[in-house]
């Protein structure tokens, strides 16, 4: 089996888990370690992408351009990617990110909204960047819909399209089905991004590779939104055992995960009740910190809020629904 291209997104998806508090010094040290380990792509930005530092998504403690500057200065032979969510980010930010020296733009939208991405892929290409399309909440749509959305992204200039399991809701069979169908319908690379709500981040990523994924994501120690991601160091260890040669130095990764990343966790990323409920109900992982805050404020069980968000089919960008749901649940409780 061909080795997949690994993107480490500790410094982007992991940003959600630490309320967007990475410092330029932290970014510099993690990027230099990942570069020393020969990780091909390193993603750096606010958890919700360029321009994500807002009241709704959570403000960053440090200016993201200072983080990107440090990433580029320390990238060695690796490439730097940044995430971009249309609406949160705008075209001038793509131009600025290219001027700062990033290599790849990853354009993320809900998995039925590829049609809004054209101008951003075109801008990224005009700015000389590699391009990735990120189909978020891919569990909500059948494989055929994802394949059509991927085709649109390909036609706009994407070099790769990812099936993104934003809620950690997929199981190996549903990953295989989606990745294989997308792979069949486009001639660019296919990627897979996992979350660990049902304990399947590694298993699902392996299923994706077996179904033909060319690119995969991981984060050190699994640091990421909600239940976290597939730990990059575990992925590399498993791929080594499968005789899939990534060229990545496992020892450097394990040391970085243990000594640099583990100390910054704000809470243990275990499969607790809230994380399992999020995956089971198919709710966007980045909602969890906001859900916990709302649950505390309204004295509710977070699981009740998560389940109701699932029933309402909330998607990324609808963080304001969390308070609405909490208020509604409280009101119902009071009339009982």
Ligand X SMILES: CC[C@H](O)CC(=O)C(=O)O
Choosing from 104, 164, 190, 294, the residue that interacts with ligand X (CB under 6 A) is 164
Shortest reach from residue 195's CB to Mn ion, in Å: 6
Shortest reach from residue 283's CB to ligand X, in Å: 11
135 contacts ligand X (rule: CB under 6 A): no
Confirm if 200 and 275 have CB atoms less than 8 A apart: no
Task: Write the interaction track for ligand X spanning residues 141-160; mark x where CB under 6 A is met and - where it is not.
Answer: --------------------
The size of the interface with Mn ion (CB under 5 A), counted in residues, is 1
Choosing from 11, 225, 276, 277, the residue that interacts with ligand X (CB under 6 A) is 225
The residue range among 32-40, 43-51, 58-66, 293-301 that interacts with ligand X, by the rule CB under 6 A, is 43-51
DSSP bridge pairs for 110 = 136
The size of the interface with ligand X (CB under 6 A), counted in residues, is 13
- Cα 132 from Cα 156, distance rounded (Å): 11
13 contacts Mn ion (rule: CB under 5 A): yes
316 binds, among Mn ion, ligand X, none (CB under 5 to 8 A by kind): ligand X
315 binds, among ligand X, Mn ion, none (CB under 5 to 8 A by kind): none
DSSP class per residue in 292-322: HHHHHHHT--HHHHHHHHHHTT--TT-TTHH
43 contacts Mn ion (rule: CB under 5 A): no
Shortest reach from residue 44's CB to ligand X, in Å: 13
Nearer to ligand X, 132 or 326 (CB): 132
CB neighbour class for 280 (10 Å; exposed up to 12, middle 13-18, buried from 19): middle
Residue 56 corresponds to which tokens in the numbers above?
Answer: 């709704």
Nearer to ligand X, 49 or 254 (CB): 49
The end-to-end CA distance of the chain, in Å, is 59
Shortest reach from residue 218's CB to Mn ion, in Å: 11
Nearest to 228 by CA among 217, 237, 244, 215: 217
48 contacts ligand X (rule: CB under 6 A): yes
3-state secondary structure of 59: coil
Confirm if 281 and 227 have CB atoms less than 8 A apart: no
- Secondary structure letter of residue 215 according to DSSP: E
Nearest to 150 by CA among 185, 180, 117, 102: 185
Nearer to ligand X, 32 or 285 (CB): 285
Number of CB atoms found within 10 A of residue 317's CB: 20
CA triplet 282, 284, 286: central angle to 5 degrees?
A: 150
166 is an annotated ligand-binding site residue: yes
284 is an annotated ligand-binding site residue: yes
Number of CB atoms found within 10 A of residue 272's CB: 12
Tokens 């309320």 correspond to 19
108 contacts ligand X (rule: CB under 6 A): yes
Nearer to Mn ion, 110 or 326 (CB): 110
103 contacts Mn ion (rule: CB under 5 A): no
38 catalytically annotated: no
Choosing from 11, 17, 31, 85, the residue that interacts with ligand X (CB under 6 A) is 85
Nearer to ligand X, 44 or 329 (CB): 44
User: Cα-flanking dihedrals φ and ψ of residue 193, to 5°?
Assistant: -125, 120
165 contacts Mn ion (rule: CB under 5 A): no
Within the chain, what is the greatest distance between any pair of CA atoms? 62
CB neighbour class for 293 (10 Å; exposed up to 12, middle 13-18, buried from 19): middle
Helices 143-156, 172-185: crossing angle, 10 deg rounding: 40
What residues make contact with ligand X under the rule CB under 6 A? 13, 47-49, 85, 108, 136, 164, 166, 193, 225, 286, 316
Annotated binding site: 12-13, 166, 193, 195, 284
Which amino acids are annotated catalytic?
A: 16
Annotated binding site for substrate: 12-13, 166, 193, 284
Annotated binding site for Mn(2+): 13, 193, 195
What residues make contact with Mn ion under the rule CB under 5 A? 13
């Amino acid at each position: 089996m061909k080795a997949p291209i690994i993107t480490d997104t500790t410094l982007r998806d992991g940003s959600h888990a630490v309320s967007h508090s990475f410092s330029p010094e932290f970014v510099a040290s993690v990027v230099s370690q990942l570069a020393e380990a020969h990780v091909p792509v390193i993603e750096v930005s606010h958890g919700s992408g360029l321009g994500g530092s807002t009241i709704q998504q959570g403000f960053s403690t440090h200016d993201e351009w200072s983080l990107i500057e440090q990433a580029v200065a320390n990238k060695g032979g690796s490439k730097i990617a940044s995430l971009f969510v249309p609406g949160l980010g705008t075209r001038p930010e793509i131009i600025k990110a290219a001027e700062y020296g990033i290599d790849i733009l990853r354009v993320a939208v809900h998995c039925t909204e590829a049609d809004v991405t054209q101008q951003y892929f075109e801008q990224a290409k005009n700015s000389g960047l590699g391009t990735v399309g990120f189909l978020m909440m891919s569990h909500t749509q059948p494989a055929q819909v994802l394949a059509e959305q991927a085709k649109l992204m390909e036609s706009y200039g994407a070099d790769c399209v990812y099936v993104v399991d934003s809620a950690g809701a997929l199981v190996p069979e549903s990953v295989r089905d989606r990745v294989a169908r997308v792979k069949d319908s486009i001639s660019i690379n296919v990627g897979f991004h996992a979350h660990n709500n049902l304990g399947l981040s590694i298993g699902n990523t392996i299923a994706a590779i077996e179904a033909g994924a060319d690119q995969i994501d991981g984060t050190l120690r699994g640091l990421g939104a909600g239940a976290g991601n597939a730990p990059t160091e575990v992925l590399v260890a498993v791929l080594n055992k499968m005789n899939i040669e990534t060229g990545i130095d496992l020892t450097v990764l394990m040391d970085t995960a243990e000594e640099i990343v583990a100390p910054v966790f704000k809470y243990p990323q275990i499969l607790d009740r809230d994380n399992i409920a999020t995956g089971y109900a198919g709710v966007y992982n980045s909602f969890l910190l906001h859900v916990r805050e709302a649950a505390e404020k309204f004295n509710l069980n977070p699981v009740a809020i998560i389940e109701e968000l699932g029933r309402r089919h909330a998607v990324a960008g609808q963080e304001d629904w969390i308070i609405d749901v909490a208020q509604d649940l409280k009101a119902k409780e009071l009339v009982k």
